[in-house]
């Protein structure tokens, strides 16, 4: 038995030595200060854009992807895409793999904005600029396109207040899972505006099952917890559609607001199931991200940690047709579900 203890101790010591030596060995390459050396290009045809997307299961990200792809086509760039499958580890692997493939610029919609730091640093060391298309960032990137989620929440609160017009009536909030930190702003904007307008958000419940039927369940819980709730806001579209169905099933008259502006929300507003939603512009976010990369790579413009806020809009039955027409014109996509 003693022999094995000895072997283990020796192995552990060897390991410790290797770690220390290699760590000291690498210590000299300190990170360079201030920005990065971008590899610029003369011809658009030499440029490849790599896009790493959270998941292609959600409409929002599909639209970001469409924007990135269309922009690459319009500008004459080559385009490669990898799906993170909602897995942060795969995201980092993919980003590193982009560097190996020799892409010229990276657009990333990160599943975990806190987890892109080392991978982005790796890419930028190789002279590859990185633009985050929504969600968020950690550490330096060249640019971050970000939806104004806080304002979206505020708009939702303002809408409910204008419709209910009675501060004695309580409101309800259906939040996304806590690990999706980017969406927290949507709830916080709502809470702060509701407080400011004098409303009481009596129920703040997390949609445990992030899908339409999860919204349905959560709405039932809100109805039980606050029977006289007058208006609810769900921080994501599918959940809001499910919640609106639950309101109908319960036969109540409650104002409901969603978030995203996905086709099913447009349909639900048109059908009078949902009352309003907050429109984001995923297509523009994707398209503009590539344009920024073009400015960096071809025009030699300097971008470092530039935050580009992207506006959000309130969609109600009154303006839905105008906005749908606008979206169709801008993106070539119908805002409504395909038949």
Partner 1 sequence: MVKFLKLYEKIGIFILIVLAGIFLAIASPNFLKTDTILNIITQGTYGVIVSFGMVLAITSGGFDLSVDALVGLTSVFLSVLIPDIGIPGAIIVSLIISAFVGFLNGVIITKFGVNPLITTLSMATIVRGASLLIADGKQIPISVARFTVIGTGKLLGIPNPIWIMLVLFIIFYLLLYQSSLGRHISAVGSNENAARISGLNVTFVKIMVYVLVSLTASINGVIRTSQAMIGIPSMAPGFTLTVITITILGGTSLAGGRGNLIGAVFAGIFISMIYYGLNLVKVQYFYQLLSVGLVLLFALFVDGLRKRYLEAAKIKGIKV
Partner 2 sequence: MDDYRLRQRKQIFGVYWGNFGLPLIFVILVAVFSITNPNFATSYNILNNLSFASYVGIAAIGMTFVIMTGNFDISIGSMLALVAVLGSSFAPKIGGVAGVISTLLISCFLGFINGIFVTKLRIPAFITTLGMLFVFRALAFIYTNNAPVYISDRFWLYLGNGKLFGIVPFPVLLMGICYVIAYLLLRKSPVGRYIIAVGTNSKAAALSGINVDNIKILVFTLLGLFVGISAVVNSANLGSANPGLMGQNYEFQVITAVVLGGTALSGGNGSLGGALVAALIITFLDNGLGLLQVNSYWQQVATGLVMIFAVSLNKLKFYLLGQGEF
Contact residues for partner 1 (CB under 8 A)?
56-59, 62, 177-178, 203-206, 208-213, 215-217, 220-221, 223-225, 227, 238, 241-242, 245-246, 248-249, 262-264, 267-268, 271, 337-338
Which residue is listed with tokens 């950690």? 138
To partner 1, the closest distance from the beta carbon of 276 in angstroms equals: 17
- Closer of 79 and 190 to partner 2 (Cβ): 79
Binding-site member from 44, 177, 202, 308 for partner 2 (CB under 8 A): 177
- Token duo for residue 314: 């309130």
Burial class (CB in 10 A: 0-12, 13-18, 19+), 238: buried
Phi and psi at residue 278, to the nearest 5°: -100, 125
**Residues in the chain, total:** 339
d(CA 127, CA 133): 19
Candidates 110-118, 223-231, 275-283, 307-315; binding stretch for partner 2 (CB under 8 A)? 110-118
Site string for partner 2, 11-50 (x = CB under 8 A): x---x--xx--xx-xx------------------------
Residue 263: which of partner 2, partner 1, none does it interact with, CB under 5 to 8 A by kind? partner 1
- Token duo for residue 111: 């599943």
To partner 2, the closest distance from the beta carbon of 126 in angstroms equals: 10
To partner 1, the closest distance from the beta carbon of 273 in angstroms equals: 8
CB contact at 8 A, 333 and 65: no
Which residue is listed with tokens 């985050």? 132
| Half-sphere exposure for 329 (CA within 13 Å, toward CB) | 6
Count residues binding partner 2 (CB under 8 A). Answer: 49
To partner 1, the closest distance from the beta carbon of 222 in angstroms equals: 8
- Written as one string, the DSSP assignment of 175-234 is EPPTT-GGGHHHHHHHHHHHHHTT--EEEEEE-SS-SHHHHHHHHHHHHHH-TT--EEEE
293 alpha carbon, distance to own chain's centre: 19
d(CA 137, CA 146): 10
- Closer of 144 and 183 to partner 1 (Cβ): 183
Q: What Rg value do the Cα atoms of the chain yield, rounded?
A: 24
Residue 101: which of partner 2, partner 1, none does it interact with, CB under 5 to 8 A by kind? partner 2
To partner 1, the closest distance from the beta carbon of 247 in angstroms equals: 11
Q: Which long-range contacts (CB under 8 A, 24 or more apart) does 69-72 make?
A: 69/286, 70/283, 70/286, 70/287, 71/286, 71/287, 71/288, 71/289, 71/290, 71/291, 72/290
Residue 178 contacts partner 2 per CB under 8 A: yes
- Token duo for residue 125: 């060391």
Residue 125 contacts partner 2 per CB under 8 A: no
To partner 2, the closest distance from the beta carbon of 14 in angstroms equals: 8
- Closer of 178 and 227 to partner 2 (Cβ): 178
Which residue is listed with tokens 């209910």? 164
Residue 206: which of partner 1, partner 2, none does it interact with, CB under 5 to 8 A by kind? partner 1
Residue 99 contacts partner 2 per CB under 8 A: yes
Residue 116 contacts partner 2 per CB under 8 A: yes
Residue 192 contacts partner 2 per CB under 8 A: no
d(CA 260, CA 10): 58
To partner 2, the closest distance from the beta carbon of 85 in angstroms equals: 7
Residue 158: which of partner 1, partner 2, none does it interact with, CB under 5 to 8 A by kind? none
Please give the residue ranges that form the binding site for partner 2 (CB under 8 A). Answer: 1, 4, 7-8, 11, 15, 18-19, 22-23, 25-26, 55-56, 80-83, 85-90, 92-94, 96-97, 99-102, 111-112, 114-119, 122, 138-139, 177-181
């Amino acid at each position: 038995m003693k022999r094995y203890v000895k072997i283990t101790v020796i192995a552990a010591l060897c390991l410790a030595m290797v770690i220390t030596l290699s760590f000291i060995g690498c210590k000299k390459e300190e990170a360079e200060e201030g920005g990065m050396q971008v590899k610029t290009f003369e011809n658009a045809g030499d440029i490849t854009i790599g896009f790493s997307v959270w998941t292609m299961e959600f409409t929002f990200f599909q639209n970001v992807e469409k924007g990135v792809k269309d922009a690459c086509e319009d500008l004459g760039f080559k385009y490669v895409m990898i799906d993170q499958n909602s897995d942060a580890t795969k995201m980092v692997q993919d980003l590193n793999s982009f560097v190996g493939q020799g892409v010229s610029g990276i657009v990333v919609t990160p599943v975990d904005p806190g987890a892109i730091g080392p991978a982005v640093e790796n890419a930028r060391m190789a002279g590859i600029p990185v633009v985050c298309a929504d969600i968020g960032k950690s550490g330096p990137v060249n640019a971050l396109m970000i939806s104004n989620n806080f304002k979206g929440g505020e708009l939702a609160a303002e809408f409910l207040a204008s419709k209910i017009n009675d501060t004695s009536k309580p409101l309800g909030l259906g939040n996304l899972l806590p690990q999706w930190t980017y969406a927290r702003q949507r709830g916080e904007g709502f809470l702060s505006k509701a407080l400011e307008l004098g409303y009481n958000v009596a129920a703040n419940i997390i949609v445990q099952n992030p899908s339409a039927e999860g919204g349905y369940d959560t709405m039932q819980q809100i109805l039980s917890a606050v029977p006289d709730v007058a208006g609810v806001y769900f921080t994501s579209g599918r959940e809001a559609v499910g919640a609106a169905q639950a309101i109908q099933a319960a036969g109540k008259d409650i104002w409901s607001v969603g978030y995203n502006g996905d086709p099913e929300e447009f349909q639900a507003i048109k059908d009078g199931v949902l009352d309003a939603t907050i429109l984001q512009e995923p297509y523009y976010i994707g398209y503009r991200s590539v344009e920024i990369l073009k400015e960096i790579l071809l025009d030699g413009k300097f971008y470092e940690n530039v935050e580009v806020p992207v506006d959000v809009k309130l969609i109600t039955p009154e303006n839905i047709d105008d906005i749908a027409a606008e979206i169709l014109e801008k993106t070539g996509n119908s805002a409504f579900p395909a038949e």
